[in-house]
Structure 1
Amino acid sequence: FILLCKINNKSLGSYSNNVRIKYPSEFDVIFKLSVPFSKYINVEEDEDRPGYVNLDFEDVMEEMYECNGYTDAYNRFVDLVDTNNNYLRRSNLQRWLKDVMETCLDTFGNQVRGKWGHLYTLIYSKRGLAHTIYAKCSKHSISIDFVPGICFGPTEWMQLPHSRKFKHKCDQWFAVPKPTSGPKGTRRYAFMVCNPKVEHDLLLGRQNLKVVFRLLKSLRNAYGMYRLKSYFLTTAFLWEIQIQSDRFWHNPLHILLEHMLETLASDFADGSLPYFWNKDLNLLDILSDDDIDELAYKLGRAHETLRQYKFEPNLSKKRCLTHFELP
């Protein structure tokens, strides 16, 4: 397992993008699965699921079988790959990783001492596509979501948003085992495509963007919009970065906040927020119609309220703060 996995040098999510509104206690990282002979993995577009791929291991298995020193790895992948079509099975991979992490804690112990001498107890949990480690002591606790990813290079069939802002940076992609819908017969082979490094680079260094991102998260919490995932906000910003010039992000905060609220309210009113790496995948499909309607209403109400505040010169700071959750 140690030879197979490597922690990617980029975190994911709010901590990496520096948009947390509180002291960080939750982290997301990709751990890269270093597959032997990975250059032989045939990455195929999933025709039933936009934004997803199937991983054909036929040539990988042949190389491991024929080369000396790979017997253990070959035997392991025999359990992970479907012998009928040579596709890597998402659930088999996840079950194996779960077993490995639980075995590690049982074998090496579930307690570690932190930098300042605190004794942390480690607890493992499987949540969605992530393998989560909770570290708890008497003073505080943290959690780390480890997302397994198989790295691959660009392929001819990938249709990317055309932009000079990142077109030369898309040399490394990850296939992550995110559960999905679609035909049951092929669902087990589906891995979602993502590129956290490019997303991080796009969000980086745009004057007021991160401040507005934090304000939106704070407003989301104050309004109880618990189904408004941080990645929905990230995606909305990525599309705006694609559309707007770099100078747009130099606008005053209230203009940017109003614009992004209006954009999000419109997206949810339309029931559509396309995935940045494949616009045919609607990220809102994971929500119910009632959830979408509720979020559209709350976002629209927040936008209209803050828009009206511009015309109230005697507005108090206290009243404004009621729309945001303070850290």
Structure 2
Amino acid sequence: MKIFYSNEIQELRATGTRVHTKKPVSSSKKPVKDLNSLLRDIYEVRDKPVRDQDFPKYFRVFQAVSLQLNELMKQADPYYERYSLVRFEGRKDRLRINKPDDLDMEIVIGLPVDTQAPAHNVIEDVAPGFVKLNIGDQLESLLDRGGNWRVIETAHRWLDKDNCLLRSLFMDWYKDVVEKALNLFDMVEDHLPFAMNVIMVEGQLYTLRLESPTYTLIVEDPHSGFRLDMDLIPALEFLDIDSTRMPSKRRKKGNFLVVPIPMGGPHEAAAWRRPLQLQEWDLLYMKQAIRLIKKLRDSQGLSKIESYHIKTIFYHASIEQEHDPEFWSRNLAELFKHFVKRLHQYLENKNIPYFWDTDYNLIGNIEESVLNGYAKKLKRFIKVLDDPSEYKMVAKYLMSESQFKEYKKKILKT
């Protein structure tokens, strides 16, 4: 059993969390006099210190719960003990725009097969971003060579009649392991409506409960209002092949994961999502602009536009701008305006092409009337963006009504 931390968390552990205890700045050090200074003030002075000051506490609780849950899961199931590898990831793309209250505990579950063999031996593409896993032949060959049936039998129960690994059966096993482990935590009844699993972190008691259907572990302090959502993400890992979508100078090999996310359609039961995170991280530039567009999405109620949709727009741009190294050197205001207009165009076209297969439309399942409404909202916003004299009103589109009222009074006063 090995435990890995993402680069972000390794850096935090190496330098200490005190670097994140910076108090929020109450006022801007530089005057807000145009769109660029306004956006930088919102990003660097209003939002970033709030995120940073909260991170140490959330991380300490996340780390304590993750370590204990992992140990109890090993006690609960011998297959998990032998074949699990845990990564405490946080949010590796660092694009969270609110409190750091949603972190990932990525649990890689091994298979008793040769996962270092070429991926095409067991993987079959069934839809953009989705694959089927045919591991039955390898399991049978292990038995023929005198493999340990007690170990192999657990994985064998996840197969269908075609020897494909069914996502639902795997998840039934995985959920059972998590629930058994949670039952090994301490229980309390005092001051709570019913008995709950709890954990003590630095003298503070936190309750634990699973939320369905996302299978998120909710860690709460019922007295202070603290809440941490821990996504318990199971995954299988395989050796990757070259990505043909990437320019040759940025093409790379590396392991890739498949995760049990539903697809729908004829391959629903056996389909696994293949997230191409390693490749996608290299495509993200100007994260300030991404966060601001996410902030715009949230404040304007564009709720069906997911973070991945927004990032995909930047993925496409990173390839399109390979010939223009100066593109990403533009100031924040220029890039923000550029990508707001691109998002508006995608919504008008009712199509955000999936980066790895442009024939697949990521927003094809969203109602046309909803997309038309989103496009109209952005069109009104673009009129404000394009008028330099109206730059202060941009804040109104990025904040709640109460936030803008206070911001206007304290920062935008003339």
TM-score, normalised relative to structure 2: 0.68
* Counterpart among 124, 130, 144 of residue 66 in structure 1: 144
* Counterpart among 200, 215, 218 of residue 292 in structure 2: 215
1:148 corresponds to which residue?
234
Alignment identity in percent? 26
Q: What CA distance in whole angstroms lies between the structure 2 residues aligned with 1:113 and 1:8?
A: 22
SS in 2 for 1:188: helix
* Counterpart among 132, 137, 150 of residue 54 in structure 1: 132
Question: C-alpha displacement at 1:69, in angstroms?
Answer: 5.8
Question: C-alpha displacement at 1:271, in angstroms?
Answer: 1.7
Matches within 5 A, 1:79-98: 79-82=157-160, 84-98=161-175
Amino acid at match of 1:293: N
1:288 corresponds to which residue?
367
TM-score, normalised relative to structure 1: 0.84
1:20 corresponds to which residue?
96
Question: C-alpha displacement at 1:187, in angstroms?
Answer: 1.9
Are the counterparts in 1 of residues 353 and 362 from structure 2 also a CA contact under 8 Å?
yes
SS in 2 for 1:323: helix
Does residue 177 of structure 1 match 2:275? no
Q: Check 1:286–1:29 CA distance in 2 against 1; reply closer, same or farther (3 A cut).
A: farther
**How many residues are treated as equivalent by the alignment?**
305
Does residue 106 of structure 1 match 2:153? no
Question: C-alpha displacement at 1:127, in angstroms?
Answer: 3.4
Question: C-alpha displacement at 1:200, in angstroms?
Answer: 2.4
Amino acid at match of 2:165: L
SS in 2 for 1:119: strand
Q: What CA distance in whole angstroms lies between the structure 1 residues aligned with 2:370 and 2:104?
A: 25
Question: C-alpha displacement at 1:166, in angstroms?
Answer: 3.1
Q: What CA distance in whole angstroms lies between the structure 2 residues aligned with 1:229 and 1:30?
A: 21
Does residue 278 of structure 1 match 2:318? no
Q: Check 1:236–1:28 CA distance in 2 against 1; reply closer, same or farther (3 A cut).
A: farther
Q: What CA distance in whole angstroms lies between the structure 1 residues aligned with 2:114 and 2:373?
A: 45
Matches within 5 A, 1:1-327: 1-8=80-87, 10-11=89-90, 15-39=91-115, 42-47=121-126, 49-68=127-146, 70-82=148-160, 84-109=161-186, 110-114=197-201, 116-128=202-214, 131-137=215-221, 138-139=223-224, 140-155=226-241, 160-164=244-248, 166-168=250-252, 170-183=253-266, 186-203=267-284, 206=285, 209-244=286-321, 245-307=324-386, 309-310=387-388, 312=389, 315=390, 317=392, 319-325=393-399
Question: C-alpha displacement at 1:251, in angstroms?
Answer: 0.4
Question: C-alpha displacement at 1:29, in angstroms?
Answer: 4.4
Amino acid at match of 1:21: I
**Deviation by residue 1:117-154 (Cα, 9 ceiling, x = unmatched):** 221111112435xx311100132110111222211123
CA RMSD of aligned residues (A): 2.3
**Deviation by residue 1:91-113 (Cα, 9 ceiling, x = unmatched):** 11112211211111113342112
Question: C-alpha displacement at 1:255, in angstroms?
Answer: 0.9
Amino acid at match of 2:298: N
Q: What CA distance in whole angstroms lies between the structure 2 residues aligned with 1:302 and 1:270?
A: 18
Q: What CA distance in whole angstroms lies between the structure 2 residues aligned with 1:68 and 1:107?
A: 34
- Structure number with the higher helix fraction is 2
Amino acid at match of 1:195: L
Amino acid at match of 1:178: I
Are the counterparts in 1 of residues 258 and 273 from structure 2 also a CA contact under 8 Å?
yes
Are the counterparts in 1 of residues 128 and 356 from structure 2 also a CA contact under 8 Å?
no
Q: Check 1:28–1:234 CA distance in 2 against 1; reply closer, same or farther (3 A cut).
A: farther
- Where structure 2 has 5 or more consecutive residues not aligned to the other structure, the ranges are 1-79, 187-196, 404-414
SS in 1 for 2:211: strand
Q: What CA distance in whole angstroms lies between the structure 1 residues aligned with 2:174 and 2:249?
A: 36
Question: C-alpha displacement at 1:33, in angstroms?
Answer: 1.4
Q: Check 1:29–1:306 CA distance in 2 against 1; reply closer, same or farther (3 A cut).
A: farther
- Where structure 1 has 5 or more consecutive residues not aligned to the other structure, the ranges are none
Larger Rg: 2
Pick which of 272-281 and 63-72 moved more: 63-72
Amino acid at match of 2:303: Y
Question: C-alpha displacement at 1:306, in angstroms?
Answer: 1.3
Question: C-alpha displacement at 1:211, in angstroms?
Answer: 1.1
Amino acid at match of 1:152: F
SS in 2 for 1:88: coil
SS in 2 for 1:146: strand
